[in-house]
Structure 1
Amino acid sequence: MIETERLLLREITLDDKENMLRLYSNPDVQKYTGEPVIESIEEIEKAILIRINNYEKYGYGRWATFLKNGMQFVGWAGLAYLPEFDEIDLGYRFLPEFWGLGIATEASHAILTYGFDKLELRKIIAIAMKENKSSIRVMEKVGMEFDKIAPYELGNEDAVWYWCDQKLITKKGIRTPTFRNI
């Protein structure tokens, strides 16, 4: 579990299926993902089981994200191994009512810190559709640097790729906030 000033991030479980369905059934949330809207609990359960498998296989994954004050579900954020590119991806997806509040930036800072300090990762990437200006801004705020525009499965369109390592973040003077690994 990862704790920041406002957020609590933990592994997604089958108990999160209603919250995850609320997230994945929202067309605004899915707009820039290239993934279809999910409308059934059965499909969500399958997606959650894949995430659980990733925790066991890689030791990390996407984490359910909550506001600490009231434990309100806001979405997910975390790391995912992309075997087709042999890269580790920072990703996040939040309910629209939590957009523009700095939650993606706060969660991303903590995840990068966790990835570099706890998991000792060498490099982390992030990928977004070119039209997803908000996501690109988050990548830049947390110290990631533009890499390339290249195809990705996000709706079969070219995507914007960013990357960072601990050295780059340090060089840019961006200090990732401390987190508590509970």
Structure 2
Amino acid sequence: MKIETLRLIMIPCDSHSQKIIETQNYDNGAEIAKHLKELGDDPALYGWGSWLVLQKSDGVIIGDAGFKGKPNSGHEVEVGYGFLETYWGKGYATEAVEGLVAWAFNGMAVKKVIAETNWDNIGSIRVLEKVGMKKTRDSEDMIYWELTYQKR
């Protein structure tokens, strides 16, 4: 399983991903390790956790993105992402999130993709706006977003 976009290849993290992560010395936080542990306990999480985001041109991991678990009873899934700072401002996060959203909506399980971001994370706010998400509410420090599946 993989997602391909114009410039990216995205592969869901599993036990085989560890080799490429180690080879490239990729470290972008604890999300992947957390997901791999959860995946060991529940193999049905495959595809519904972290995905490695690689440049098509050279296979370098530039970030990770994915979902914060399987769709809930309301057919919602939350998307999250993080990219190495070297790759910020180049449209990679937008491209990756668009790919994930399309993948999620392609099956029958997801009717809504949600997200949250801090008020001061201007880059992330722009990503969510560009992929068509709408603000649903906010709190003192967070903005909450959603994108509902629309038949074409």
Question: Do Structure 1 and Structure 2 share a fold, with TM-score over 0.5?
Answer: yes
Quickly say closer, same or farther: Cα 1:90–1:55, change in 2 above 3 A: farther
Q: Name the counterpart of 2:78.
A: 89
How much is the aligned-residue C-alpha RMSD, in angstroms? Answer: 3.0
Q: Please, what TM-score do these two structures have when normalized by structure 1?
A: 0.68
- Tell whether 2:95 aligns with 1:106: yes
Task: Quote the residue 1:62 is aligned against.
Answer: 50
Contact 1:62 1:76 in 2 (8 A): yes
Task: Name the counterpart of 1:14.
Answer: 18
1:132 aligns with 2:121: yes
Counterpart-to-counterpart distance in 1, 2:43 and 2:142? 29
State the shift of 1:21 in Å: 5.2
Larger proportion of helix: 1
Identity over aligned residues, as a percent?
Answer: 29
- Using the alignment, how far apart are the partners of 2:25 and 2:61 within structure 1? 9
Provide, for residues 51-91 of structure 1, a one-character-per-residue CA deviation record: whole Å limited to 9, x for no partner: 5348723342220010011101101011222899x751111
Residue type of the alignment partner of 1:50 = K
Show the counterpart of 1:32. Answer: none
The residue correspondences of 1:43-58 to structure 2 (distance < 5 A) are 46-50=33-37, 52-53=39-40, 56-58=43-45
Q: How many residues are matched?
A: 145
TM-score (norm 2): 0.80
1:24-35 equivalent positions in 2, closer than 5 A: 24=29
- The answer for the alignment partner of 1:179 in structure 2 is none
Higher relative contact order (CA 8 A, sep 6+): 1
Unaligned 5+ segments in structure 2 are: none
Q: Deviations 1:99-121 (Å, cap 9, x if unpaired)?
A: 00000000111111111113541
- Between the aligned partners of 1:65 and 1:23, the Cα distance in structure 2 is 12
Q: How far, CA to CA, are the matches of 2:132 and 2:41 in structure 1? A: 26
Counterpart residue identity of residue 161, structure 1: Y
Determine helix, strand or coil for the equivalent of 1:97. Answer: helix
Secondary structure of the residue aligned to 2:27 is helix
Relative to structure 1, the CA distance from residue 160 to residue 117 in structure 2 (aligned partners, 3 Å threshold; closer, same or farther) is same
Amino acid at match of 1:23: N
